[in-house]
């Protein structure tokens, strides 16, 4: 784990995090704010356990979470948050 976002903090494991890591975590900040924090965490955890119950490994279940899919898909696009629409993670649900 290189970073984690726990509203309203971004915690990173390196003193000089990359721009893409910080963008990834900022996407999570936006997701958390958008879903009023507690519902975000409930949805996040529910998705994780759903994928674990389907037989995925810890890492595969984590990567299958729609919030993570969005953050990984756009972490390199440093302009993404300026054009992101409300509920953008929903398109990553399967």
Residue 94 lies in a domain: no
Check: pTM over 0.85? Answer yes or no.
yes
Q: Is residue 42 part of a domain?
A: yes
Residue 54 domain-assigned (yes or no): yes
Q: For 34-66, how does the pLDDT look when each residue is reduced to its tens digit (9 = 90+)?
A: 999 999 999 999 999 999 999 999 999 999 999
Number of alpha helices (DSSP H) and beta strands (DSSP E) in the chain:
5, 2
Q: Which domain holds residue 37?
A: 3-81
% of the chain beyond a pLDDT of 70: 100
| Among candidate residues 61, 63, 65, 68, the one with its CA nearest the CA of residue 28 | 68
Task: Determine the average pLDDT of the residues in 57-78.
Answer: 98
Query: Residue 88 falls within a domain, yes or no?
Result: no
Q: How many domains does the chain have?
A: 1
pLDDT in tens, 20-36: 999 999 999 999 999 99
Provide the 8-state DSSP code for 65.
S
Instruction: Look at residue 1 in the predicted model and tell me its pLDDT.
Output: 75
Angle ∠(17,18,21) on CA atoms, nearest 5 = 90
Q: At residue 9, what are phi and psi to the nearest 5 degrees?
A: -105, 145
Q: To 5 degrees, how large is the angle CA 92–CA 93–CA 94?
A: 115
Q: How far apart are CA 55 and CA 10, in angstroms?
A: 30
Sorted by sequence, the CB contacts under 8 Å of residue 17 that are 6+ apart come out as: 2, 3
For 1-23, what is each residue's pLDDT tens digit?
Answer: 799 999 999 999 999 999 999 99
């Amino acid at each position: 784990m290189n970073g984690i976002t726990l509203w309203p903090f971004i915690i990173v494991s390196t003193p000089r995090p990359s721009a893409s890591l910080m963008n990834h975590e900022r996407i999570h900040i936006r997701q958390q704010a958008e879903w009023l924090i507690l519902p975000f965490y409930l949805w996040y955890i529910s998705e994780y356990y759903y994928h674990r119950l389907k037989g995925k490994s810890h890492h595969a279940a984590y990567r299958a979470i729609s919030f993570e899919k969005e953050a990984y898909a756009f972490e390199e696009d440093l302009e993404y948050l300026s054009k992101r629409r409300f509920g953008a993670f929903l398109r990553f649900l399967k």
